[in-house]
Amino acid sequence: MSNIEESEFVKSKRGKWSKSGVPHRGWRCVDIEDLGEPSTTCGMCESQEIRFVHFMEHSNYPEVLQVGCVCAGHMEGNLAASQAREASMKSRAAKRKRWVTRAWKISAKGNPHITADGYRITVYPRGNGWACTLAGLVSGAVQHSRRYFKTIEEAKLAAFDHITKKSA
Residues that bind Zn ion (CB under 5 A): 6, 42, 44-45, 48, 68, 71
149, 144, 152, 150: which is closest to 110 by C-alpha?
152
Residue 6 vs 86, nearer CB to Zn ion: 6
Residue 85 vs 156, nearer CB to Zn ion: 85
Cβ 131 to Zn ion shortest distance, Å? 41
What are the φ and ψ backbone dihedral angles of 96, each rounded to 5 degrees?
-65, -40
**Per residue, what are the HEC states of 68-83?**
CHHHHHHHHCCHHHHH
Cβ 56 to Zn ion shortest distance, Å? 10
Residue 58 vs 156, nearer CB to Zn ion: 58
With vertex at residue 91, the alpha carbon angle to CA 167 and CA 150, rounded to the nearest 5 degrees, is: 75
Cβ 168 to Zn ion shortest distance, Å? 20
